[in-house]
């Protein structure tokens, strides 16, 4: 899977072999500075036996407050697209490449800031362990940060979406856009882009049904 940022056992390696143990250890992670201003670690959520794992970038404002991934506007769009693709969110494991919210203050508003490469690298220990424990047969990387985290390199989305890629023995990868991209596209393109996103998600339906 992805490259470990530092030699020797990571905090995540020492945390135990279950998702609850990992979640508990991640709550105290200080391996990069992002914990300082975030409310809490937002760990992944979903069944440990899920066949599909969705990976986003990092929690947003609402996720930071709720302590749950994808519960804000991008999450609601993701839920709608999953439903339209015929996938139940309850059956998938949903997580992020970076587990703390990175933001800049604009007045009282906390505006999303893309995580730096060093923050992504520091946080990979958690995603790597989640992938090991859940052992999904299919990973969906939502957006550029997630695909970099999963593949270990910059992977253009346009050239790679729309098909399943062999990621590791027995593990396929779908690279697609991040739902927040769909919130930002011009109104005249929204329907078409949403349709492309749902079409990408439909590729994972065979794994969702088992």
Q: Does residue 56 touch ligand URA according to CB under 6 A?
A: yes
Q: Binding residue for ligand URA (CB under 6 A) from 2, 10, 58, 176?
A: 58
φ and ψ of 59, to 5 deg: -60, 150
Is residue 53 a contact partner of residue 138, using CB atoms and an 8 Å limit?
Answer: yes
CA dist 32 → 16, 23, 94, 123 (Å): 21, 17, 22, 8
- Per DSSP, the chain holds a count of helices (H) and strands (E) of 9, 7
Options 31, 57, 128, 130; binder of ligand URA; rule CB under 6 A:
57
Beta bridge partners of 164: 174
C-beta of 14 vs 104, nearer to ligand URA: 104
Measured from the CB atom, is 13 or 79 closer to ligand URA?
Answer: 79
Q: Between β-strands 138-142 and 109-112, what pairing exists: parallel, antiparallel or unpaired?
A: unpaired
44 binds ligand URA (CB under 6 A): no
Piece of the chain touching ligand URA by CB under 6 A; list 5-13, 59-67, 125-133, 199-207: 59-67
Minimal distance, residue 209 CB to ligand URA, in Å: 25
Task: Enumerate binding residues for ligand URA (CB under 6 A).
Answer: 56-60, 63, 69-70, 72, 74-75, 96, 180
């Amino acid at each position: 899977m992805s490259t470990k940022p530092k030699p020797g056992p990571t905090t995540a390696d020492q945390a135990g072999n279950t998702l609850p143990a990992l979640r508990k250890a991640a709550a105290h992670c200080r391996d990069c500075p992002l914990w300082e201003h975030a409310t809490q670690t937002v760990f992944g959520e979903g069944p440990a036996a899920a066949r599909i794992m969705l990976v986003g970038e990092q929690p947003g404002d609402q996720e930071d407050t709720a302590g749950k991934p994808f519960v804000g506007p991008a999450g609601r769009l993701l839920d709608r697209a999953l439903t339209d693709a015929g996938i139940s969110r309850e059956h998938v494991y949903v997580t992020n490449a970076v587990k703390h919210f990175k933001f800049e203050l604009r007045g009282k508003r906390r505006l999303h800031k893309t995580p730096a490469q060093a923050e992504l690298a520091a946080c990979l220990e958690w995603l790597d362990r989640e992938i090991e424990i859940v052992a999904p047969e299919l990973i969906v990387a939502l957006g550029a940060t997630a695909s970099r985290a999963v593949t270990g390199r910059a992977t253009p989305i346009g050239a790679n979406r729309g098909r399943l890629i062999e990621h590791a023995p027995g593990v396929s990868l779908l690279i697609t856009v991040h739902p927040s991209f769909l919130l930002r596209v011009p109104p005249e393109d929204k329907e078409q882009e949403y349709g492309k996103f749902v079409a990408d998600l439909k590729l994972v339906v065979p794994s969702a049904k088992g």
